[in-house]
Amino acid sequence: MIDIKFLRENPDIVKENIKKKFQDHKLVLVDEVIELDKKNREAKLKGDDLRMKRNSLSSEIGNLMKNGQKEEAEKIKAKVQEINAKLEENEKLENEYSSQITERMMKIPNIIHESVPIGKDDSQNVEIEKFGEPIVPDYEIPYHADIMESLNGLDLDSARRVAGNGFYYLTGDIARLHSAILSYARDFMINKGFTYCIPPFMIRSDVVTGVMSFEEMDAMMYKIEGEDLYLIGTSEHSMIGKFKGQILQKADMPYTMTSYSPCFRKEKGAHGIEERGVYRIHQFEKQEMIVVCEPEDSWNWYNKLWSYTVELFRSMDIPVRTLECCSGDLADLKAKSCDVEAWSPRQQKYFEVGSCSNLTDAQARRLGIRIKGEKGNYYAHTLNNTVVAPPRMLIAFLENNYNKDGSINIPEVLRPYMGGTSKLLKK
């Protein structure tokens, strides 16, 4: 959510930002907010005036009562009651205006960074840099589900019987590899100075609307029936919610955390969810990194965060590239975002394995996360980035470490988490 003062003073900039995101249907919201804000401020002034009159009359009543002028005092009391009735109606009006303003402000997208390329959808995202040499071996790389099944590591049929499409059983070496990657990612981030955290896996609705747009909420979140609780789509939701309504001390900044959680997503409108495999699924596990920092430090942290993911993947000999998300591909709360994509030797192309985002103060405004300053409190900036998200990451891992005989190489950094195993053999 952007600053209403900024919108009030720069409506054309806000409208241009909406156009850059190809959301012209939201342009009317800017004018509606300006009109409602004007009425709300008029109502507040009227309320202040009524309260001043009431205070003056109340003081007069005291003096009249002291002087024994009870009849005159009763007349003044009647006037005070009239003012109280007007104040009550005026306060209802203020609350109504405030509610309508908030409803519209929550739909207006965050101001994107000037460096974000303008484009309508993800087809217009821009490659930034490649890391590692993409290799296509002279032998065929099987489909990832076939590789897993050849190691007795994947059971989709049982998962369909138990939970339906979009779920899976991982077993044996593949399940152990899945856990090993998460454990390695956890320690990798701890060694970067991040604090490890396991958050709640369910959050209340006021946290959900604080961390994401209504469109994202509808497309992603599973609601717990009969409860004001939602299953998280990523641990970022819980981790940012941790600071809801808090005034943070400047001396404690920044907060740098790495969190583990299962993630639950509807994948509403997703294509190919029925197809065999674990690329797009309703449930997965993830290691995340989250930063809450001073506004002037957030872009420096943004560059650090995506570079950590690149470093992690390269330590496992997986070629990756970074991709700048264009304006139309950015979620409404994001000021800038880049995807980390891993090389698929089977498909001979890159595919997304993580995303890094700077939301500037958009989440902090919604959730009331402020920093105590010498000249007043101000909103923090929040960032998040995927460290690693198996089983999708397993696809890249298995394809890039697949040998002609069907075995899988285990990079040195993972061996301590795999009991010293250097190679997985076909069953």
Residue 216, pLDDT above cutoff 90:
no
Res 272: pLDDT = 54
Which of 234, 336, 341, 247 has its CA nearest to residue 290? 234
Share of the chain above pLDDT 90, in %: 84
Band of pLDDT at residue 274, cut at 50, 70 and 90: very low
| Residues 333, 319: Cα–Cα separation, whole Å | 30
- What's the burial of 110, exposed, middle or buried (CB within 10 Å: 0-12/13-18/19+)? buried
pLDDT band per the 50, 70, 90 thresholds, residue 78: confident
Is residue 65 pLDDT above 80, yes or no?
no
Instruction: Express each pLDDT in 88-126 by its tens digit.
Output: 999 999 999 999 999 999 999 999 999 999 999 999 999
Mean pLDDT of the chain: 94
* 4-105: in CATH 1.10.287.40: yes
Mean pLDDT (whole number) for 211-227? 89
Least confident of 79-83, 230-234, 301-305: 79-83
b vs e for 247-279, b when ≥16 Cβ sit within 10 Å of the residue's Cβ? ebeeeebbbbbbbbbebbbbeeeeeebeeebbb
Amino acid at 400: N
Taking 80 as the threshold, does the pLDDT of residue 300 lie above it?
yes
Average pLDDT over residues 11-34: 97
- The average pLDDT across 59-73 equals 76
| Poorest-pLDDT segment among 29-43, 152-166, 260-274, 298-312 | 260-274
Distances (CA, A) of 290 to 125, 190, 235, 240, 357: 24, 12, 9, 8, 10
Q: Which residues of 51-71 are buried (b: 16+ CB within 10 A; e: fewer)?
A: eeebeebeeebeebeeeeeee
The predicted structure's pLDDT at residue 391? 86
pLDDT for residue 59: 76
Strand 154-155, strand 126-131: pairing: unpaired
Write the pLDDT tens digit of every residue in 12-23.
999 999 999 999
Residue 275's pLDDT is 59
* Confidence at residue 117, expressed as pLDDT on a 0 to 100 scale: 97
| CA nearest to 239, candidates 219, 217, 216, 256 | 256
Out of 18-22, 73-77, 325-329, least confident range:
73-77
What is the pTM (predicted TM-score) of this model?
0.90
CA distance 134 to 62: 85
pLDDT, one tens digit per residue, over 147-203 is 999 999 999 999 999 999 889 999 999 999 999 999 999 999 999 999 999 999 999
For residues 236-250, average pLDDT: 97
Q: Is 380 exposed, middle or buried (0-12, 13-18, 19+ CB in 10 A)?
A: buried
Handedness of CA 228, 234, 237, 242 (dihedral sign): positive
Domain 122-424 falls under CATH 3.30.930.10? yes
pLDDT confidence of residue 273: 47
- Tell me the domain boundaries of the chain: 4-105, 122-424
Residue 333 clears pLDDT 60, i.e. is over it: yes
C-alpha distances out from residue 77 to 55, 60, 70, 86, 220, Å: 11, 10, 10, 14, 56
